[in-house]
């Protein structure tokens, strides 16, 4: 596949990630004349896109587009080639087999298909109508981290788009893990902080302005659902990595501060090279020159993951800081990056 | 009545105003050895105060107090003299007649009894089991603005604690209205801005961090419920005053900017005197020297209403700025101030 | 002039408006292969753009561009046709005559040339080396509000880009003023609120996080510098309009709440038509259907000005709400919109 | 010493810590009739307290108090027994010897006297007029952590009030370190986050609202000045503890997330006992029941340090969360707690 545009559809446009995904697609050069088909599962009537996502008004096509009730027949009539799912986990687990069966490739933004091992997946409490088929589909699902799995993504039928926290941590650690530079006996500490949009659009006590504003809190200390992604993608066991998320009083953005002990003393130059070389061809990762460190303000509303590090004077302890926008590189932009690879568009098209 | 302490009860301690009210009472010198009886209407079991309001932990008595199920018998056994209601409007409308009948004086923080005129009260959609009795009670209810009605409050059986916006505007305008300084034909403009706690503790789309943060919005432009209080207390008709509330991205605090045309040109000195004299004996109102203006940061977490003004060079147009903490002088502190008057305690005791 | 690109330069790229202006130009289709010349007045060495504005990194050309010392010869060698000035008022007053003399058209983002009447301009305390020449230049300067003066802008040599507050208020009132719908005897009240970026990048007590956060304050009540723009553009005298700015605890965005008395009672339909027709061909103004009102969250990081209104039940009093991003439609986007007109590009190109 | 009041003075009341210190002293029962002497070093005239700290207006004595020029004679005439220094480090290093020589006990809120080892103190770049005398004074200075050094504080002539970050971390670790429960070979990770008031009142690029709001950034990764306090108070060497501070977009509050590996597997019960017993008699430390964790919102504007922890399922890894208000338990409240001990007042008087 290598053409000027393809037909894509988005199921689930009312949440934050779905809204950002639509924004990116409307602004994407390849869809200037071929806007995505927008689908919803609630209600039996079409509704104006801008009634669900008023901030999109003014973007190309936005004021004419409707979100129409989901219908498999419609997808096939429209010739949809790639379907984005910005739906709850359970819904994604149910819809993906049908989509694949219908010959439609899927980029799933939920956590339903990210985890290869059933034990890791248990946190999602998923059930499958046809467990054998689901298991087979799971085994071919590609974890949608373009920096790690670009070749498989290009031809994948099912791409499981990574979690936001997981993306920030995996991109920070992958270069070091692949080069065997970390002393894993000492354990890796990942102290991560996320803006409130990561908690979703549903009004809850924890997303109330009065709870989140002027506050900081840790949560899910030994049990966050993204932990399984870290273990599988970095090939670690649970005792080797500790991940603690915190809720920041800001709308969006993640900053992860990651602490590792090196297997043997390193130099700033060798560490810098490790990151620089690993991401030499990665258009959506920016590696800072040590001692410069990323900040949330420089990645918010961008599709980049920014990485930086500092090394202790004895060369043994490394502190890595990783920043991204949880709704973009942590969700919608990464989905578009995967689509670009699947459709043989330039990897960063529509993302800068 | 003039003694060292009295028995008070609070019904409704789970919301923001109820929580602040309990905080003030626990810290009030007159209740050092006589904490309030705390009552709730949901559930049939006592619950620890600090499970509902964890931030009160550490205050005198707070860690031992429970909130017990509401029961009229209990109130009488405990000899409750004053009952604070921090309950929904409908509930207050229902409970007050029974309390008064039982010989218990009431300070009601809801809007149920603030409005003398049925037409103004219509916004609350209240119904009365015994309309005649309710009408009689309504006619004796005192609007709990200590700066305007101290004498009636002292002996009142029912005090209707004012609305937060209404307090900020009425205190700004009362000195001028009473002195007939305003040209009412030109209309008074009240542009008011409130922090999110004013919208209550229930998680809603409008109190979600993502909606309120980094935002400002106007609402209820010609129809806010506090308008009736302005009309009745300032003796205006609806065409003479325009009140527009806005939702500020801060936890608490109200700033009202108020625009009036003077009946005849005035001087800064005469305007300053008008405010200074009106509030000479008001311990909870601070009048700034013009051109200094109040700011929200100086009243938040205090029980004061701060007032300031500037006069146009031609002496005809006055801009008044009024600030208070919506949960304190706009609710809980004003309730305590009313209680102080009713119990013949010093008016500002426990409020500085 | 009607071609595919033109040569532009920006003097002053270190502030907020300058940074946003460069962002817009780098993303502008007409400059994809012809990035702007960037100039600074401090220092004698070129500095990397991203060292001054790190958040621009990743945009087209951004990582290669330098800001070079200002030099008239350089502008002429590069064939600069339009020069943007994002400089202090005094500097703009000094530089503009030289630029015009050199045949370079200017879009000045400062307040130096916005005010036709010397009395209004006095707040800027400007001095002119050649008062006669300056007066002549002033008389030909066009106030850069594309919705009001598009024809003059197209051929202007000097465009004075409007103030942020002024834009939000003028666009809200111009349709009504031009149609003589307002009873000016009653006075127009403009209660405006702006995010902190409006106060500039210099660290001051008033821009300290501890001052601005969780706060709201009014300032410059009878003396804000943008008042003169309101008077001149709306043809009012000072007693007919009252403008009060407030500092909001958010990074960016302006919301102006504007109160007018109508000359004779109107209907919602007639008011809506007044706005709709006035802005029928204005690509950067979005008129909401009453009773919907704009909010800051829907305009931040867009180039739009959003307008909405509500009418009192008696049809006599109108409340208009106007929102824009102070750095975009209030500064940089409006400058680009003006440039589009001057260069005969589509008016909204690069602004959606 | 055991009496009803003592004479105290505060030098340096214009900053955040000094302002909070004065607030606490004005509200302190022991000073109801004996307000502190307030002193400043800039200017030769007395200035009203409320002109420097307007938010104190309304507190007892606040509206009558002046800040007078510093003068050793005045301190002696007034019979000052304890002098609080809320001054820059260099100033404290200079003033303390003179105060002690004059027989005045000192509580110094700066970092000047906290560090016993010259190598640790080097970050402050202090110089001494009389190095020998300074060395002797340093050796008798008591680190003002009442939970660790109450007995020495009671009789100390010089108390060095701890740093805000250091307090949050030391109180979290001291129980475990004293009980030898930590495997120090694995290293302790302290990921700390502080509100902007920790950066001081001076307007700088980093305290500008536009920099701090909606942002998070790490800083001083291997070199924060509070590190020396951790090493000395916890008896660690630099390779055993890693401390990374971050700037939170909130006015006040610190949350430290601390990661330790236990020397041998522990149980939740044993860990809980370790903390509970250590702080059984500590009125200003609140230990939460695991798995409950402290949050910044519950300590802001209180004098408490809140501690909580969770243990990994294998019993080997402990995550401790520690919260306090950096201006209170991290500065002014701790100073008052030290004064209470020095004056034989109840330890928590005026702090609840």
Residues of chain A in contact with residue D193, where contact means CB-CB under 8 angstroms, are 193, 216, 246
pLDDT at A299 over 50: yes
pLDDT of C1 reads 39
Is the separation of the CB atoms in A341 and A281 below 8 Å? no
pLDDT at D56 over 70: yes
**Using one digit for the tens of pLDDT, what is the confidence trace for B192-229?**
999 999 999 999 999 999 999 999 999 999 989 999 99
**Nearest-by-Cβ selection for C293 from B218, B314, B321:** B218
Q: Left, alpha or beta for D43 (phi > 0: left; psi -120 to 50: alpha)?
A: left
CA nearest to A247 within chain D: D295
pLDDT of A2 reads 42
Question: DSSP for C289-341?
Answer: PTT----GGGTTTSS-EEEEEEE-TTS-EEEEEEEE-TTIIIIIHHHHHHHHH
pLDDT at B2 over 50: no
In this complex, is the C-beta atom of B214 within 8 Å of any C-beta atom belonging to chain D? yes
**Using one digit for the tens of pLDDT, what is the confidence trace for A158-199?**
999 999 999 999 999 999 999 999 999 999 999 999 999 999
Tell me the torsion sign for CA atoms D108, D110, D111, D112.
Answer: negative
Mean pLDDT, chain A, rounded, equals: 96
pLDDT at C340 over 80: yes
Residues of chain D in contact with residue C213, where contact means CB-CB under 8 angstroms, are 196, 209, 213, 249-251
Q: Which residues of C are catalytic?
A: 164
**Mean pLDDT, to the nearest integer, of B244-271?**
98
**Mean pLDDT, to the nearest integer, of C105-127?**
95
pLDDT at A98 over 60: yes
Residues of chain D in contact with residue A317, where contact means CB-CB under 8 angstroms, are 187, 239, 242
Neighbours of chain C (3+ CB pairs under 8 A): A, B, D
Residues D242 and B48: their CA atoms lie apart, in Å, by 39
Catalytic residue check, B274 = no
Is the bond preceding B158 in cis, omega lying within 30 degrees of 0?
no
Chain C interface mutation, best of A52, A58, A251, highest count of C Cβ atoms under 10 Å: A58
**Mean pLDDT, to the nearest integer, of A201-227?**
95
CB contact under 8 A, B352 and D304: no
**Mean pLDDT, to the nearest integer, of C274-280?**
98
**Mean pLDDT, to the nearest integer, of C14-28?**
97
Neighbours of chain A (3+ CB pairs under 8 A): B, C, D
Task: Give the distance from residue C207's alpha carbon to the nearest chain D alpha carbon, in angstroms.
Answer: 6
**Mean pLDDT, to the nearest integer, of B248-269?**
98
Residues of chain C in contact with residue B253, where contact means CB-CB under 8 angstroms, are 214-216
pLDDT of C3 reads 66
pLDDT of A4 reads 86
**What DSSP character marks residue A330?**
I
pLDDT at C312 over 60: yes
CB pairs under 8 A between A and B: 54
Residues C28 and C36: their CA atoms lie apart, in Å, by 11
CB pairs under 8 A between B and C: 131
CB contact under 8 A, B203 and A201: no
Which residues, other chains included, contact C24 with Cβ-Cβ below 8 Å and sequence gap of 6+? C303, C328, C332, C333, C336, C350, C351
**Mean pLDDT, to the nearest integer, of B267-293?**
97
CB contact under 8 A, A191 and D216: no
**Nearest-by-Cβ selection for A298 from C54, C59, C286:** C54
Helices marked H in B146-194 — which ranges? 146-155, 164-178
**Nearest-by-Cβ selection for B54 from D55, D298, D352:** D298
Tell me what percent of the residues of chain A surpass a pLDDT of 90: 96
Cβ count within 10 A of residue A253: 30
- Nearest Cα neighbor of B299 from B280, B312, B317, B286 is B286
Which H or E element spans position A47?
strand A47-48
CB contact under 8 A, C298 and A59: no
pLDDT of A43 reads 79
CB contact under 8 A, B352 and D55: no
pLDDT at D2 over 70: no
Q: pTM for the whole thing?
A: 0.96
**Using one digit for the tens of pLDDT, what is the confidence trace for A122-157?**
999 999 999 999 999 999 999 999 999 999 999 999
pLDDT at B233 over 90: yes
pLDDT range class, residue A3, cuts 50, 70, 90: low
In chain C, the DSSP E strands lie at 8-11, 37-40, 47-48, 66-69, 82-85, 105-108, 142-143, 158-160, 188-194, 217-218, 241-247, 254-261, 285-287, 305-311, 317-324
pLDDT of D3 reads 65
pLDDT range class, residue D91, cuts 50, 70, 90: very high
Task: Give the distance from residue B189's alpha carbon to the nearest chain A alpha carbon, in angstroms.
Answer: 29
- Nearest Cα neighbor of D167 from D234, D106, D222 is D234
CB pairs under 8 A between A and C: 26
CB contact under 8 A, D58 and B301: no
In this complex, is the C-beta atom of A201 within 8 Å of any C-beta atom belonging to chain B? yes
**Using one digit for the tens of pLDDT, what is the confidence trace for C63-105?**
999 999 999 999 999 999 999 999 999 999 999 999 999 999 9
Is the separation of the CB atoms in A22 and A349 below 8 Å? no
Q: Which residues of D are catalytic?
A: 164
Residues of chain D in contact with residue A251, where contact means CB-CB under 8 angstroms, are 214
Residues of chain C in contact with residue A53, where contact means CB-CB under 8 angstroms, are none
Residues of chain C in contact with residue A302, where contact means CB-CB under 8 angstroms, are 55, 58
Task: Give the distance from residue C215's alpha carbon to the nearest chain D alpha carbon, in angstroms.
Answer: 11
Residues of chain D in contact with residue B55, where contact means CB-CB under 8 angstroms, are 297-298, 302
CB contact under 8 A, D210 and C197: yes
Window 138-167 of A: residues touching D by CB (8 A cutoff) are none
Q: Is residue B132 helix, strand or coil?
A: helix
- Nearest Cα neighbor of B186 from C183, C56, A302, C139 is C183
CB contact under 8 A, A210 and B204: no
pLDDT of D58 reads 83
Chain B interface mutation, best of A14, A199, A208, A325, highest count of B Cβ atoms under 10 Å: A208
Neighbours of chain D (3+ CB pairs under 8 A): A, B, C
Pairing of strands B254-261, B188-194: antiparallel
Residues of chain B in contact with residue A196, where contact means CB-CB under 8 angstroms, are 209-210, 213
Q: Is residue C224 helix, strand or coil?
A: coil
CB contact under 8 A, A215 and D293: no
Window 275-314 of A: residues touching C by CB (8 A cutoff) are 286, 297-298, 301-302, 304
Task: Give the distance from residue C298's alpha carbon to the nearest chain D alpha carbon, in angstroms.
Answer: 17
Cβ count within 10 A of residue B97: 18
CB contact under 8 A, B210 and A204: no
Bridge partners (DSSP) listed for residue C190: C243, C258
pLDDT range class, residue B1, cuts 50, 70, 90: very low
Structure tokens at C341: 């007109």
Bridge partners (DSSP) listed for residue A255: A193, A323
Is the separation of the CB atoms in C151 and C106 below 8 Å? no
In this complex, is the C-beta atom of A265 within 8 Å of any C-beta atom belonging to chain D? no
pLDDT of A228 reads 96
Residues of chain B in contact with residue C261, where contact means CB-CB under 8 angstroms, are 187
**Using one digit for the tens of pLDDT, what is the confidence trace for B67-81?**
999 999 999 999 999
CB contact under 8 A, D208 and C210: no
**Mean pLDDT, to the nearest integer, of C227-255?**
97
In this complex, is the C-beta atom of B240 within 8 Å of any C-beta atom belonging to chain C? no
Task: Give the distance from residue A176's alpha carbon to the nearest chain D alpha carbon, in angstroms.
Answer: 19
């Amino acid at each position: 596949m290598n053409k000027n545009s393809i037909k894509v559809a988005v199921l689930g446009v009312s949440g934050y990630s779905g809204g950002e995904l639509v924004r990116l697609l409307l602004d994407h050069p390849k869809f200037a004349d071929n806007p995505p088909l927008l689908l919803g599962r609630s209600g039996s009537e079409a509704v104006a896109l801008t009634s669900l996502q008023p901030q999109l008004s003014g973007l190309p096509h936005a004021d004419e587009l409707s979100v129409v009730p989901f219908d498999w027949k419609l997808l096939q009539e429209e010739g949809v080639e790639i379907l984005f799912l910005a739906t709850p986990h359970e819904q994604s687990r149910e819809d993906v087999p049908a989509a694949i069966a219908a010959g439609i490739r899927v980029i799933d933004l939920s956590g339903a298909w990210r985890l290869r091992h059933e034990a890791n997946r248990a946190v999602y409490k998923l059930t499958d109508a046809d467990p054998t088929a689901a298991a087979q589909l799971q085994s071919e699902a590609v974890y949608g981290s373009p920096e790690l799995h670009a070749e498989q993504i290009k031809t994948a039928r099912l791409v499981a788009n990574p979690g936001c926290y997981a993306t920030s941590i995996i991109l920070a650690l992958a270069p070091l893990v692949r080069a065997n530079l970390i002393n894993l006996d000492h354990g890796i500490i990942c102290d991560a902080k996320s803006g409130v949009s990561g908690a979703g659009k549903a009004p809850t006590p924890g997303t109330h302005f009065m709870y989140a504003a002027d506050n900081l809190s840790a949560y899910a200390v030994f049990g966050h659902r993204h932990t399984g992604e870290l273990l599988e993608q970095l090939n670690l066991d649970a005792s080797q990595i500790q991940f603690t998320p915190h809720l920041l009083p800001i709308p969006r953005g993640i900053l992860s501060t990651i602490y590792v002990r090196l297997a043997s003393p390193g130099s700033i130059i060798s560490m810098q090279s490790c990151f620089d070389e690993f991401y030499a061809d990665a258009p959506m990762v920016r590696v800072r020159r040590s001692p410069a460190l990323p900040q949330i303000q420089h990645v918010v509303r961008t599709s980049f993951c920014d990485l930086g590090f500092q090394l202790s004077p004895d060369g043994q302890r490394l502190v890595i800081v990783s920043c991204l926008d949880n709704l973009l590189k942590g969700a919608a932009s990464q989905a578009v990056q995967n689509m670009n690879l699947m459709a043989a568009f330039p990897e960063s098209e529509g993302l800068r």
